[in-house]
Amino acid sequence: MRRLAFSLVELLVALAVGSLLLVGASRLLATTVRTSKTEGATFRSQQEALAALEGLEKETQGKGVGAVLPGSGENLLSLVLLGGNGHPVLIKGYSASGFRIAASSQPEFQPGDTILLRNAAGQAALLSVTKLTQLDPDTWEVSLGGCQNPVIWSENARAFKAETLTLEYASGTLKLTTKDGTVEVAQIPEFKVSYVYRTPDGQETLSTAYQGLTLNTGAKLAAVSLFARGSQAGNRALTARFHVPRTATGVIACGAQNPSQGLGVVTVVVSP
């Protein structure tokens, strides 16, 4: 004869087994939720660090590093970025208030722009353009404002469109300053700049302060390294490194006279 009901013992056993299954399922769900939160936090942390590095990459894209400026250090990086190939500077008309360039079309820079003027010896200066005058189809006159031109003319002197870029980290905030103003790049707990110096035999050392083109050991600045750390533990640190070429040995401070007259030069690195 068929049984149509369960005994009390069978019901208790079924309840016990069901409870164990529910506990297991609850623990699995809790573990999944925690894992998801952790992975999400790690992802957000990586995005924070990535934003810090991408801010600089976006601004430097398509431009050359013309100089690492004095005052740069572990939490501050000041760069001069160069646009285009520059224009040859002519000896005729070369003076403290202006100079002439060879250009068969519209020059790369315009009035109001900042330029980097550099001679073959590596001497350079940041100057402001106030006026451009076309003298003939292949020659333009550049008039300067603000600081006078302190650079000695030489063969192969060139003028480049330039802009300064400053990356500054303070109190957990990374800010980027360009000609368009200052913007907040990211809120991150750690950001560092290091300066990579390379010895003649290829050995590299890191410095948290910019020390110029050459150290007493003979090592020369080869690259700048950036380190960004997000807010969560785990796979959170990102690094980037970009080469610093040297085509100039110094950038003369605004208002300084030509160093050929015995006055000082502010040492700065520009491309190799």
Q: What tens digit of pLDDT does each residue of 6-57 get?
A: 566 555 556 665 565 565 555 555 555 454 444 444 445 455 556 556 656 6
Task: Tell me the H-state helices in the chain.
Answer: 8-60
**Residue 22: exposed, middle, or buried by beta-carbon count in 10 A (0-12, 13-18, 19+)?**
exposed
pLDDT at residue number 247: 60
Instruction: Sort residue 5 into left (φ over 0), alpha (ψ -120 to 50) or beta.
Output: beta
pTM above 0.85, yes or no: no
pLDDT digits (tens, 9 = 90+) for 58-104: 666 667 777 788 888 999 988 888 888 899 999 999 999 999 999 99
pLDDT over 90 at 187, yes or no: no
Count of alpha carbons within 13 angstroms of residue 241, beta-carbon side? 10
% of the chain exceeding 70 in pLDDT? 64
- Phi and psi dihedrals of 106, rounded to 5? -55, 130
pLDDT score for 262 = 33
Q: Which residue has the higher pLDDT, 113 or 25?
A: 113
Residue 128 near residue 114 (C-beta atoms within 8 A): yes
Angstrom distance (rounded) from CA 149 to CA 157: 13
Q: Rank 3-7, 18-22, 200-204 by mean pLDDT and report only the highest.
A: 200-204
So what's the pLDDT on residue 46?
Answer: 52
89-94 long-range Cβ contacts below 8 angstroms, 24+ apart: 89/117, 89/153, 89/157, 89/158, 89/159, 90/139, 91/153, 93/141, 94/149, 94/153
Q: For 229-239, what is the mean pLDDT?
A: 61
Residue length of the chain: 272
The confidence score (pLDDT) of residue 86 equals 93
What is the structure's pLDDT at 108? 94
In a 3-state reduction of DSSP, which class is residue 174?
strand
How is 167-226 classified by DSSP, letter by letter? EEEETTEEEEEETTEEEEEEE-SEEEEEEEEE-TTS-EEEESS---SB-TTS-EEEEEEE
Q: Residue 220 above 60 pLDDT?
A: yes
Place of tokens 């480049």: 160
Q: Is the pLDDT of residue 235 over 50?
A: no
Mean residue pLDDT of the chain comes to: 76
Lowest-confidence region among 37-41, 113-117, 190-194: 37-41
The candidate with the shortest Cα–Cα distance to 193, out of 172, 178, 177, 210, is 210
Pick from 151-155, 189-193, 214-218 the range whose average pLDDT is largest.
151-155
Both tokens of 259, joined, read: 């160093």
Token reading at 224: 């700048």
Given a contact cutoff of 8 angstroms between Cβ atoms, the answer to whether 150 and 252 are in contact is yes
pLDDT at site 17: 58
